[in-house]
Structure 1
Amino acid sequence: MNDKFEELFKAMHQFHKLRIGEMMPNVSGADFWAMNNIVNKSEDGKITISELAKKTNVLPSAISRTIRGLEDKGYVERTINKNDRRNTYVEMTDRGIEVMQEVKETMHNFGEAVLSKLDEDELSQLVAYLNNIYDIAKKEIEIRKIKK
């Protein structure tokens, strides 16, 4: 079983080496996930830094650095809540929405090109297996967490 464990993690790790981000200049993986979560924001069109950190499962300090970079590129803008200055809202700019649409289109085209070369039944089975492995691993991590 040890060899299979290593094979599985080597196969999974290979995807990190693909460097998919090179297809999208000026948008890193962190940028993409932050922007994607901002786009899928609340009804008022804004999201707080703390809400965004929670949605992306990233520390507020890290998400603030990502937002700063996106601001520098002109993709997002921050506003401070006038009623509670502790809350800073983030929203997409028109340029950010445009870039996000380009990135999504690039990823969609890439995904279609890759998946079109696979058998549909095998792909469905692979997705089911990966979801099952994820669920099992998540439960094992919870069992093995060090309680503080």
Structure 2
Amino acid sequence: MEDDSLLESFWAVTRRLRERTRITLEPWHVSPSQSRALSVLTSDGEIRLSVLAERLHIAPRSATEVVDDLQHRGLVERKPDPTDRRATLVALTPAGAATAAAIREARASEGERLFAGLDPADRTELARILQLLRDAR
């Protein structure tokens, strides 16, 4: 019974995070997958579309749709790959970089609100446990 309660609590927190993320992203009119793509491009710089799909853990076709939407909004651009003329690189535009930075700041603030009720020791312990779960295979 305790495991069911633990699982249900975990799912409740997950649902709460998803809802808060959706609300947090509203000012920029981006989806969570578009936000993740902006984040990957911020950390990785310009990369091939296939690499972006791998990093987002989505099908290449889905990555193409995400990039199409972001490109239409002027947040990313496609460039030819100088090392392989058949490949395409995806890169943030200045507007995309600014949007990614604003989203990162808003999400950090939202995270602080979510974890504000935890004392430093609880935060450290939660981080440790979540890393164990994240890294478990």
Q: Structure 1 unaligned segments of length 5 or more: list them.
A: 139-148
1:22 and 2:23 correspond: yes
- What's the C-alpha RMSD, in Å, of the aligned pairs? 1.9
Which residue is 1:36 aligned to?
Answer: 39
Letter of the 1:5 partner, please give it: D
Higher helix share: 2
Q: Work out which of the two has the higher radius of gyration on C-alpha atoms and give 1 or 2.
A: 1
Q: Structure 2 unaligned segments of length 5 or more: list them.
A: none
Change (3 A) 1:69 1:112: same
Letter of the 2:133 partner, please give it: I
Which residue is 1:142 aligned to?
Answer: none
Change (3 A) 1:39 1:82: same
In the TM superposition, residue 6 of structure 1 has moved relative to its aligned partner by 2.3
Identity score, percent: 23
Change (3 A) 1:97 1:133: closer
Letter of the 1:58 partner, please give it: I
Which residue is 2:130 aligned to?
Answer: 130
Query: Runs of 4 or more off by more than 6 Å in structure 1?
Result: none
In the TM superposition, residue 80 of structure 1 has moved relative to its aligned partner by 2.4
Normalising by the residue count of structure 1, what TM-score does the alignment of the two structures yield?
A: 0.78
In the TM superposition, residue 56 of structure 1 has moved relative to its aligned partner by 1.9
Which residue is 2:52 aligned to?
Answer: 52
In the TM superposition, residue 83 of structure 1 has moved relative to its aligned partner by 5.5
Q: How many residues align?
A: 132
In the TM superposition, residue 89 of structure 1 has moved relative to its aligned partner by 0.6
* Contact 2:49/2:60, CA 8 A, preserved across alignment: yes
In the TM superposition, residue 67 of structure 1 has moved relative to its aligned partner by 0.8
Which residue is 1:112 aligned to?
Answer: 112
* Contact 2:79/2:89, CA 8 A, preserved across alignment: yes
Normalising by the residue count of structure 2, what TM-score does the alignment of the two structures yield?
A: 0.84
Q: Say which structure, 1 or 2, has more relative contact order (CA 8 Å, 6+ apart).
A: 2
Change (3 A) 1:134 1:92: closer
Change (3 A) 1:95 1:134: closer
